[in-house]
Chains A and B, each alone.
Chain A
Amino acid sequence: AQTVTQSQPEMSVQEAETVTLSCTYDTSESNYYLFWYKQPPSRQMILVIRQEAYKQQNATENRFSVNFQKAAKSFSLKISDSQLGDTAMYFCAFMEGGTSGSRLTFGEGTQLTVNP
């Protein structure tokens, strides 16, 4: 079974600064996908970024980028130029590759607070 570990229950950052959230995972699969979701106080789970394990290039989405280290099974999220609206719980998630449907395994989350 896959496991996802987020070792930082809480983090804070000043507005406009950069912050990195950590995630490690354990799997014997070679084909898989990794995601970061954001859950603001509204509680909706919003996709932030996605990475395919077979791609060596790190995914980026505007101010969000990842550092994907496949050998180390590490998938950290970097948020640049932090904004107050980035305050949320951030979840790292794993999905196996292959066929027959998508299943997400989530980490326990990191509560990020952006301070003015």
Chain B
Amino acid sequence: ETGVTQTPRHLVMGMTNKKSLKCEQHLGHNAMYWYKQSAKKPLELMFVYNFKEQTENNSVPSRFSPECPNSSHLFLHLHTLQPEDSALYLCASSQEGGTRGNTIYFGEGSWLTVV
């Protein structure tokens, strides 16, 4: 039990499909993140939400659309993806209290394959 739960764990979608990844954190944190992990590349930060507000979009293509309805839930809506978007998508959360250095806790990831 990690405290950060991601669904689905595996997703296969066509390039014209629309799907969503869901993340829920049970840690009472106020910040949530999406990271992308591709083969042979370091983890890349995609989006950051603090208190439901998006505070960072790391030049992510618009075919990825995040949504944060509350501090416990984070979605990543996927639309017209490309095969190179196939990767492990990791959700994470932390408790932000005004200064950095807060530990970030990760979920188990959602494996996405675009065909």
Contacts and interface: CB of A to CB of B under 8 A. Distances in A.
A97 B103 contact: no
A91 B43 contact: yes
B82 interface: no
A6 B5 CA distance: 29
Interface residues of A, number: 28
Contacts of B31: 101-102
Contacts of B42: 4, 91, 105-109
A44 B109 contact: yes
Interface residues of B, number: 29
A106 B43 contact: yes
A45 B40 CA distance: 16
A35 interface: yes
Nearest to A91: B43
B101 A102 contact: yes
Interface string A78-116: 000000000000010001111111111111110000000
Contacts of B102: 102
A104 B96 contact: no
Contacts of A44: 2, 106-109
Contacts of B90: 45
Interface of B: 2, 31, 40-43, 45, 48, 50, 55-56, 88, 90, 92, 94, 96, 98-109, 111
Interface of A: 4, 33, 35, 37, 42-47, 50, 52, 91, 95-109
